[in-house]
Chains A and B, each alone.
Chain A
Amino acid sequence: MVRTADLLPLAVAVPLLGAVVLVITGRRLPRPAIDALVTVWAALEVAGLVLLWLRTGDGHSVSWLGGWTPVHGESVGIVLVGDRIGIGLALLTSALVLAVVVYSWRYFDEPPVAHAGTFPALLLLFEAGMVGFALTGDLFDTFVFFELMGAVAYALTGYRIEDPRPVQGALVFGVVNSLGAYCSLLGIGLVYARTGELGFAQIGVQLTRHRPDALLSVAFVLIVTGLLVKAAVVPLHFWLPDAHSVAPTPVCMLLSGVMVEFGVYGVARVYWVVFSGPHGIAEPHLRATFVTAGVLTALVGAVMCWQQRHLKRLLAFSTIGHVGLFLAGVALLTPAGTAGVALYVAAHAGVKAALFATTGVLLDRFGSVDEHGLYRRGRELPFVGALFTVGGLALAGLPPFGTGLGKAVVEHSGQERLPWLPAVFVFVSALTGGAVLRAGVRIFAGAGPRPRERYAGPETTGGGEEPEIRDPRRRIPVPMLAVPAVLLAPALAVGLLPGPGVALAHAARQFTDRTAYTAAAFGHHVGPSAPVPDVGWNTEGVLLGLVSTVMAVLFAAVAVWGPVLRSPLVGPVTAVCEGVGRRVIVPLRRLHSGHLGDYVAWLAVGVAVLLVAMTV
């Protein structure tokens, strides 16, 4: 019988071992055997994490690696700490990896022939990095798993080397993320120099013995910079659309579904355990800065999402929009806000992965992800169209989807202090959901007039993509249709069933309780002090969810049928829209230039602004 504490390192070791086995046997085994092996391995990881989730319950599971348990409160070792949020995120990751593995059973029929195990092995390494990141209780170890996640993600993004775009996307991804990681390392150095500790809990304890000064704020900002780059927070977000729009579809499902969200998780974890103690980072200051950053990110993501016709780019920008909402929700620094974000992330992962998966079917069929070029061509795929539309509605926050519940809980938690916050949430959900619905109606129903093929402004069309699968005449493989359908189900279950909500409400209370985490790392138990936040549906939440859904449908309808509408209002409205477009949107689009130098300059600006905002 495996001890609960040992399940923590096993969750990291199992996928690592799986990758090794796949590389070694991948040269001999036929393709179906490799697919079967990696599926079994991914399922094993899910099973282990389910067991860990059940056994840990509302407490903490703690494992000191190498048996370096603290003596007199001091240790030289690394600790893994599993609480509900960390284990839950690891579980979400492993479930999504399993879905991706099944989805790609019939993917990548050819490359690279001599190393058929490479792609699944990279997926498992990616999983190990993310699970390790979710479970570690050590700052430097966080950085190591962050880098493992990154190194694999760059390779997976550039996997289709026949096309120069993925290689460029992977390069931008790699350079910008590495620069962010250097900042994190600088910050870890500052904290280590002051405290001589690397564990979250230990640093947190030591920092309470110093006055808050410039070093503390600068260290905090630098450490979270790498995580904010990963979370694609404006203006550190430029790499994301370039990478997510060109990565192979199964990889996009993981990148947008969970990897980006790990950035927000990391920021919240580092703040709550390390920097939230007495003499830590001042709460109002942090709230103001990070809610602003989150709202700005959400608005930029939503507006840019609406502008796209390249479907994967559209979905990538919608991820930026939603991550902005997640950051704003977490930055409220309340258990209720955190619980709402946890629900939102869980449901969003399923929805976003399903949307990418259906886009993958279009790419497979037609060799294009261009909304305009695909006009009416999706009519032969009604089931895919239905999935795509349901995904769009869920993204808009339609009750009873979990996205709607998460959104409602965060709105409710934030509106006392920031009464305008629900408006931002509704607008961003409506615009991103509306963009998906607009594309869906055009492609799968052929509604409205045929969109123009060319525009004068800056644009990425999404035509002329390489199909990721060789033979487009065969039938669509069943897993490619089953996986998105299955992925939407948990997104619905999170909102519909009371179980996940209650569990995540307890999880959020535990996550925001610094004392309980610190005590658990040192082997003590401290009962929770705050009350459990309320995370059920209420009338107001349902109404706001319906409002954002109706707005999304209206946005889509106006975009599709607006041009053929005959009414005296159309002329002035069009003129206003074009005016706003010229002054605001075209400059915003020009900023997303694809030039690596621009992105690095914006990264520097972002860090400088954060440093000034948090230090002064």
Chain B
Amino acid sequence: MSRSARIRLFWAAAVVFAVVYTLACTGLPHFGTTVHPYGSRAVAASLRQRTANVVSSINFDQRALDTLGEESILFASVLGTTALLRHARDERVGRPRAGRVLPSTRLLGLVMVPLTLLTGVYIVAHGQLSPGGGFQGGVILATGLHMVYVAADYLVLKRIRPLGVLDVADACGAGAFVALGFAGLIAGAAFLQNVLPLGTFGEISSGGLVPLLNAAVGIEVGSGIIVLLASFLDQAVEVRSETDSGSGERT
């Protein structure tokens, strides 16, 4: 198909889609209604479960199987990406050279890296109380580590990044979620049932299983994203094709 034919075909279909979809949206309930059937039930349930953050209660208690599926998607994606971005037989690996960084940048990095990591841990640990949780905190943890790449260079990042350990941590996080699901079965209840003591509403130890699942997801997401980015950085910084035999790029 020629370029113009393709674009015309697509737009014709897109216009039909837009018209019919808009028509369908006129059947939606209006904005700002006071009652939502699922919303009211979910809030009531999360209060009963003494989990202040309703979103966490839905994600890790009421609909925990969805989250198990989602974190498995992340686990699979990390696994798949490392497999796809492995070094092929015809790829050559060059050693990246050290880069030059302004001392002020270095200093800022030195201050910010521990602060960001601490923020990440805080967000993971308080998922049952305030907005945040394992997914969000895990991403912050991973980004915090990569500030080293900005503040120093790739070689330093590589030195402080124990990929072998993180690989295993990623798998352990994913496995811990499943294992915590078995806790319910062992206690004679359902899979993924929140059978732990629920604690006091608003305390950090409240929510029963929710903080533990958050921690598992936090470990998995944090280490998973680092491994994921490591595969991409490795391709971008270290690997070069056979034709380009120059030594490492500046990082």
Which residues of A are found within 8 Å of B62, using beta-carbon distances?
66, 68, 76-77
- Name B76's contact: one of A141, A155, A167, A170 (CB within 8 Å): A155
CB distance from B158 to the nearest CB of A (A): 16
A4 contact set on B, CB distance < 8 A? none
Q: What residues on A are CB-neighbors of B175 within 8 Å?
A: 17, 20-21, 24
Residues of A close to B192: CB separation below 8 A: 9, 65-66
Q: A16-B68, A145-B69, A193-B28 are in contact. Are A605 and B9 (CB under 8 A)?
A: yes
Q: Which B residues touch A20, using CB under 8 A?
A: 75, 171-172, 174-175, 178
Contacts of B14-52 to chain A: CB distance below 8 A: 14, 16-17, 20-21, 23-29, 36-39, 41-42, 45
Residues on B with C-beta less than 8 A from A194 are 27-29
Chain B CB within 10 A, most for which of A68, A194, A595, A615: A68
Given A194-B28, A608-B13, A612-B20, the answer on whether A24 and B73 have CB atoms closer than 8 Å is: no
Total residue contacts A-B, CB cutoff 8 A: 232
A615 contact set on B, CB distance < 8 A: 20, 23-24
Binds B, one of A110-118, A327-335, A390-398: A110-118
Given contacts A214-B20, A604-B17, contact A140 B178 (CB under 8 A): no
User: Who on chain B is nearest to A189 by CB?
Assistant: B28
Query: Counting CB contacts under 8 A, is B111 at the interface?
Result: no
Are B24 and A190 in touch, CB under 8 angstroms?
Answer: yes
Whether a CB of chain A sits under 8 angstroms from the CB of B251 is no
Question: Is there contact, CB below 8 Å, between A154 and B80?
Answer: yes
Q: How far is the CA of A74 from the CA of B13 in the complex (A)?
A: 40
In chain A, positions 60-76 with a C-beta closer than 8 Å to chain B are 63-68, 74, 76
Q: Is A370 an interface residue (CB 8 A)?
A: no
Tell me which residues across on chain A come within 8 A of B82, comparing CB atoms.
Answer: 112, 115, 118
The reply to whether B83 and A155 contact each other, CB–CB distance below 8 Å, is yes
Q: Is the interface of B mostly helix, strand, loop or mixed?
A: helix
Q: CA A115 – CA B167 in complex, angstroms? A: 10
Check if A125 is an interface residue, CB within 8 A of chain B.
yes
Q: In the assembly, what is the distance between CA of A600 and CA of B41, in Å? A: 40
Contacts of B142 in A (CB 8 A): none
Whether B190 is near chain A, meaning CB under 8 Å from some CB there, is yes
B143 at the binding interface (Cβ < 8 Å): no
Q: Identify which of A17, A23, A612 gathers the most chain B CB atoms within 10 Å of its CB.
A: A23
In the docked arrangement, what's the CA distance between A525 and B231, Å?
A: 52
A-B pairs with beta carbons under 8 Å apart, 21 shown: A9-B191, A23-B168, A27-B167, A66-B193, A66-B194, A125-B75, A132-B69, A144-B73, A148-B76, A151-B80, A155-B80, A155-B81, A162-B88, A167-B84, A214-B24, A593-B1, A595-B6, A605-B9, A608-B16, A611-B17, A612-B20
